[in-house]
């Protein structure tokens, strides 16, 4: 379980998040939605250890991990897939995958990644920066299979991709969830995110304005929360 309690954070003198509480129960998918500038990416950066909160704490499986660096959180089962193509563009697909292996057999890890995205199996010797955007995103997501994390943070992983690739991405996320990983998903395709989510949080201006199950949120209310109406 991931628990962010009373999180206040920002950059320099600018406060972005104000007293945010969020829970990702074990084995669940939580959609984190809101307009641009709401603070969603900042919250993921706090959760992954990239940004230390000025107030509040971060708990992972009831262990207080506030202030731990990303590599320490990764070793404890956290995996952050940031916005953009999170790959090493001058390395081959195989090298990218093997670099993500924390322990265990590298060949087995590559096989796991290819089982999730067969297209990567056809590109193992290709320099990753020469692949299409969709293929690079598959490679970025494949690290979640290689590392076997318990909690996965996903920031706009479908952004800029063709509809067919988006379908493949969401099929993979459903598979990842079915195998026991907890997902915190920031996503522009609201309907798709709500379709796989067990719980949803809406953020606006650095605060949570709604939390509950997707069925509790009507289309009209979703729009009003997005534009900041009350």
One domain, residues 14 and 72: yes
Q: What is the DSSP pairing of strand 29-33 with strand 199-204?
A: parallel
Contact between 174 and 12 (Cβ < 8 Å):
no
Q: Is the dihedral of CA 116, 122, 128, 130 positive or negative?
A: negative
In a domain, 180, yes or no: no
What are residue 213's phi and psi, to 5 degrees? -90, 150
In a domain, 216, yes or no: yes
One domain, residues 119 and 95: yes
One domain, residues 27 and 122: no
Q: What is the structure's pLDDT at 6?
A: 98
Q: What is the structure's pLDDT at 55?
A: 98
Q: What is the structure's pLDDT at 103?
A: 73
Please give the residue range of the domain that contains residue 138. Answer: 86-149
- Torsion angle of C-alpha atoms 211, 199, 72, 105, degrees rounded to 10: -170
One domain, residues 155 and 228: yes
CATH number at residue 37: 3.40.50.300
One domain, residues 120 and 63: no
One domain, residues 124 and 21: no
Longest dimension (CA), the chain: 54
Residue that is last in its domain, among 149, 173, 197: 149
One domain, residues 68 and 104: no
With tokens 């670099």, the residue in question is 99
**Overall number of domains in the chain:** 2
In a domain, 183, yes or no: no
In a domain, 90, yes or no: yes
One domain, residues 145 and 111: yes
In a domain, 200, yes or no: yes
Strand order in the sheet with 63-64: 14-24, 2-11, 55-60, 63-64
**Does the global pTM surpass 0.85?**
yes
One domain, residues 114 and 157: no
One domain, residues 159 and 227: yes
Angular region, 20: left φ>0, alpha ψ -120 to 50, beta rest: beta
One domain, residues 112 and 1: no
Closest C-alpha to 17, from 55, 49, 50:
55
Secondary structure class of 64 (helix, strand, coil): strand
In a domain, 179, yes or no: no
Report the 10 Å Cβ neighbour count for 9: 22
User: Block means of pLDDT (10 residues each) for the chain, length 230 residues?
Assistant: 97 97 97 94 98 97 95 94 88 93 81 92 96 94 89 94 92 94 94 94 94 84 59
In a domain, 178, yes or no: no
In a domain, 4, yes or no: yes
One domain, residues 104 and 216: no
């Amino acid at each position: 379980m991931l628990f962010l309690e009373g999180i206040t954070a920002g950059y320099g003198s600018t406060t972005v998040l104000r007293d945010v509480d969020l829970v990702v129960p074990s084995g669940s998918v939580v959609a984190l939605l809101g307009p641009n500038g709401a603070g969603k990416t900042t919250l993921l950066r706090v959760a992954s250890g990239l940004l230390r909160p000025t107030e509040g704490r971060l708990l992972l499986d009831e262990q207080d991990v506030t202030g731990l660096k990303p590599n320490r959180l990764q070793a404890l089962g956290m995996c952050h897939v940031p916005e953009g193509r999170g790959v090493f563009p001058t390395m081959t697909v195989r090298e990218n995958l093997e670099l993500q292996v924390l322990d265990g057999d590298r060949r087995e890890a590559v096989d796991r990644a290819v089982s999730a995205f067969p297209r990567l199996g056809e590109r193992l010797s290709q320099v990753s920066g020469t692949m299409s955007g969709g293929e690079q995103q598959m490679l970025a997501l494949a690290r979640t299979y290689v590392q076997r994390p318990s909690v996965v943070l996903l920031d706009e992983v479908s952004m800029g991709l063709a509809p067919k690739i988006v379908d493949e991405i969401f099929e993979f996320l459903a598979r990842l969830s079915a195998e026991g990983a907890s997902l915190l998903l920031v996503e522009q395709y609201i309907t798709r995110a709500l379709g796989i989510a067990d719980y949803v949080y809406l953020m606006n201006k650095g605060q949570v304005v709604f939390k509950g199950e997707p069925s509790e949120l009507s289309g009209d209310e979703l729009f009003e929360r997005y534009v900041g109406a009350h």
